[in-house]
Amino acid sequence: MEKKRKQDEKRQRKNDRKAAEIAAANAPPPEPKLDEDGNPIVDDDDTNDDDARADESSALTS
Please check the confidence at residue 52 and state whether its pLDDT lies above 70.
no
Model pTM score: 0.44
Residue 40 has a pLDDT of 84
Is the distance from CB of 23 to CB of 15 less than 8 angstroms?
no
10-38 residue pLDDT tens: 999 999 999 999 999 999 888 888 888 88
Which strand (E) or helix (H) includes residue 18?
helix 2-26
Residue 17 has a pLDDT of 98
Residue 37 has a pLDDT of 87
CA dihedral sign of residues 46, 36, 38, 29: positive
**What proportion of the chain, given as a percentage, has pLDDT over 90?**
40
Residue 62 has a pLDDT of 52
Give the three-state DSSP class for 40.
strand
